[in-house]
């Protein structure tokens, strides 16, 4: 039995060396200890766990000979790098957290330490953040890209995946990255946790340049960044609780703290009652919730989502988006997601970046980019969200009125700067308005979309005697009546863009 367990742990350790590369730089000592760590039983929530003496026996080299000052605690809840920048498999050599448990976001000073003990100022929370501090809200991290270029080697030569990326993602925002296949979305995302290194340029998280981080600094960085994948990447032989616990076990977090954090993360994603279930018994949406819990268990400042909803059905997609929105609101995390689903960007994101062939072509608040796309790539991506002209009207449209009793079909577009007003339309047109189709959304408090309406074609009024008509033109009243519907609505500024699509014969 013991031999079988050891073999299983060894096989699993081989798989984890690759699977966990997105979160940790694995030291040789950690690689060697993985089978033993994974073979050790995971304590249930509420177990007393091992004492400090037991922990010292397990890692004798980590036991301090004398009581030292506890290290500065980072936002992740795990001790930051000590002054000499050394770590023991993810825990400080001085036996960080001497009471056997890491403190819960209880950093007491205003700095955290980068590699080599260089203090880096932490951004202080705003008054609004301070009000949320009592509810466990944390401040996310800002991400800045400066003149980023990323090249890859190819048989035909160097291929440029990203060029001239200058971008700042504010802390605590939900930021979306969209683009066609091959636009460079995944390459940009992987630069944030340094799975990829830029060929040129500079990336900083909370003002800390990450390009020069050494091994220990990279470990600390990746603890601050969680990642959610498209295909879940769960271990089928592990329960939900064990899957979520993996990052903490690899980092050497004490067992009682692991149990507490895992339960907190599972409660946050609504899967606490599934903690002892295996992945094969879960739905796709539930598996993704486990992936999100695993990303959150290290208490990151940034959450990266790589096509997190692409493998889900529409109902599960909506549930996951609501969960991410909830996490952002409650924890204040910065969330960066890439997707090809424009509805995902519309539903959840505050800001969006459009990439095309490795270059930034458009960026800004979602309502503005969606409401008034300036680049052809953006318009092409948004085209599937538009409602096509109903076929019954498309086949009947004529460029000129087919009869005196014709209807003019108008397209009214709204980019978020104006609100549809049917009463004002009726007044401006001086007659009934027939609504043919509506495709209007509300994004970040702004109305966007289009309306298709049909109105009677204008005729010259005969209410004024011909003798009263001044030479060379109609009187003012007749001129108003003779103006096209498009001209009248444009004059009244009742939509962002007004366009005549043609005419149809009115049906009796």
Highest mean pLDDT among 21-30, 72-81, 423-432: 423-432
Residue 66 has pLDDT above 50, yes or no: no
Asked whether residue 362 carries a pLDDT value surpassing 50, the answer given is yes
Do 328 and 220 sit in the same domain of this protein?
yes
Q: Determine, yes or no, domain membership for 245.
A: yes
Of 358, 382, 406, which residue sits at a domain end? Answer: 382
Same domain, 349 and 245: yes
Domain's final residue, options 347, 382, 417: 382
Question: In the chain, pLDDT over 70 holds for what percent of residues?
Answer: 67
Q: Does 44 score more than 70 pLDDT? A: no
Q: Domain count of the chain?
A: 2
Residue 484 falls inside a structural domain:
yes
- Cα 428 to Cα 328: distance, rounded to the nearest angstrom: 44
Lowest mean pLDDT among 32-41, 51-60, 273-282, 401-410: 51-60
Q: Give the number of C-alpha atoms closer than 13 A to the C-alpha of residue 70, restricted to the C-beta side.
A: 17
Mark whether 224 and 147 lie in a shared domain: yes
pLDDT score of 334: 96
Looking at the domain assignment, is residue 55 inside a domain? Answer: no
Residues of the domain holding 292: 143-382
Domain membership flag for residue 92: no
What's the pLDDT band for 133 if we cut at 50, 70, 90? very low
Do residues 141 and 206 lie in contact, with contact meaning Cβ atoms separated by under 8 Å?
A: yes
User: What is the model's pLDDT at position 439?
Assistant: 82
Better pLDDT: 112 or 260: 260
pLDDT tens digits, residue range 144-200? 999 999 999 989 889 999 999 999 999 999 999 999 888 999 999 999 999 999 999
Statement to judge: residues 360 and 243 lie in one domain: yes
Residue 125 lies in a domain: no
For range 478-492, the mean pLDDT: 65
Q: What pairing do the DSSP bridges indicate for beta strands 406-415 and 497-505?
A: antiparallel
In this structure, the answer to whether residues 358 and 453 fall within a common structural domain is: no
Q: What is the SS3 assignment for 73-93?
A: ECCCCCECCCCCCCCECCECC
Q: Per-residue confidence at 55, pLDDT binned at 50, 70, 90?
A: very low
Q: Is 318 inside a domain boundary? A: yes
Please tell me the least confidently modeled range out of 1-5, 184-188, 195-199, 219-223.
1-5
**Are both 271 and 417 inside the same structural domain?**
no
Q: Are residues 280 and 365 in the same domain?
A: yes
Tell me the average pLDDT across 114-118: 34
Clarify whether residues 310 and 162 are in a common domain. Answer: yes
62 in any annotated domain: no
Tell whether 297 and 345 lie within a shared domain.
Answer: yes
Here the CATH number for the domain that contains residue 451 is 3.30.70.260
Specify the pLDDT at position 301: 94
The two structure tokens encoding residue 443:
């994004």
Does this model's pTM top 0.85? My answer is no
Whether residue 150 sits in one domain with residue 232: yes
Indicate the average pLDDT of the chain: 74
Classify residue 203: in a domain, yes or no.
Answer: yes
Could you tell me if 151 and 297 lie in one domain? yes
Q: Are 334 and 351 in contact (CB under 8 A)?
A: no
Same domain, 211 and 188: yes
Answer yes or no: are the C-beta atoms of 55 and 256 closer than 8 Å: no
* 3-class DSSP state of 331: helix
Domain boundary, last residue among 327, 362, 382 = 382
Q: What is the CATH number of the domain that holds 155?
A: 3.40.50.300
């Amino acid at each position: 039995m013991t031999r079988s367990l050891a073999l299983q742990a060894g096989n699993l350790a081989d798989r984890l060396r690759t699977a966990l590369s997105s979160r940790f730089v694995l030291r040789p000592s950690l690689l060697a200890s993985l089978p033993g760590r994974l073979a050790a039983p995971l304590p249930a929530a509420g177990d007393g766990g091992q004492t400090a003496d037991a922990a010292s026996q397990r890692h004798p080299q980590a036991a301090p000979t004398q009581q030292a000052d506890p290290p500065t605690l980072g936002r992740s809840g795990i001790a930051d790098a000590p002054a000499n920048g050394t770590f023991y498999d993810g825990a400080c050599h001085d036996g960080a957290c001497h009471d056997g448990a890491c403190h819960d976001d209880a950093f007491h000073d205003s700095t955290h330490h980068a590699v080599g003990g260089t203090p880096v100022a932490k951004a202080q929370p705003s008054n609004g953040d301070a009000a949320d501090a009592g509810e466990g809200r944390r401040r996310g991290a800002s991400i800045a890209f400066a003149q980023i270029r990323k090249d890859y080697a190819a048989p035909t030569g160097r291929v440029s995946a990203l060029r001239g990326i200058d971008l700042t993602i504010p802390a605590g925002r939900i930021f979306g990255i969209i683009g066609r296949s091959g636009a460079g979305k995944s390459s940009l995302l992987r630069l944030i946790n340094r799975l990829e290194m830029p060929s040129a340029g500079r990336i900083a998280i909370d003002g800390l340049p990450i390009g020069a981080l050494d091994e220990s600094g990279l470990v600390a960085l990746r603890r601050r960044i969680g990642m959610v994948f498209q295909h879940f990447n769960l271990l089928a032989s592990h329960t939900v609780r064990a899957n979520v616990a993996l990052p903490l076990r690899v980092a050497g977090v004490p067992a009682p703290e692991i149990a507490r954090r895992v339960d907190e993360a599972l409660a946050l994603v609504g899967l606490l009652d599934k903690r002892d279930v295996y992945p094969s018994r879960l739905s796709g949406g539930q598996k993704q919730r486990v992936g999100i819990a695993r990303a959150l268990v290290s208490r990151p400042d940034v959450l990266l989502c790589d096509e997190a909803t692409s493998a889900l059905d529409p109902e599960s997609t909506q549930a996951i988006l609501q969960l991410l929105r909830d996490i952002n609101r409650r924890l204040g995390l910065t969330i960066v997601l890439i997707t090809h689903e424009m509805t995902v960007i519309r539903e959840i994101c505050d800001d969006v970046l459009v990439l095309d062939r490795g270059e930034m072509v458009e960026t800004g608040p979602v309502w503005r980019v969606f409401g008034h796309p300036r680049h052809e790539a953006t318009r092409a991506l948004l085209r599937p969200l538009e409602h096509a002209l109903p076929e019954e009207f498309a086949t009947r449209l004529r460029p000129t009125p087919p009869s005196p009793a014709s209807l003019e079909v108008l397209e009214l577009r709204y980019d978020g700067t104006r609100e549809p007003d049917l009463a004002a339309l009726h007044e401006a047109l001086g007659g009934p308005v027939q609504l043919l189709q509506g495709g209007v959304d509300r994004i970040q408090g702004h109305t966007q979309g289009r309306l298709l309406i049909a109105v009677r074609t204008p005729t010259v009024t005969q209410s004024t005697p011909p003798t009263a008509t001044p030479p060379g033109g109609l009187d003012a009243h007749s001129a108003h009546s003779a103006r096209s519907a498009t001209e009248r609505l444009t004059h009244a500024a009742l939509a962002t863009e007004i366009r005549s699509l043609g005419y149809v014969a009115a049906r009796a």
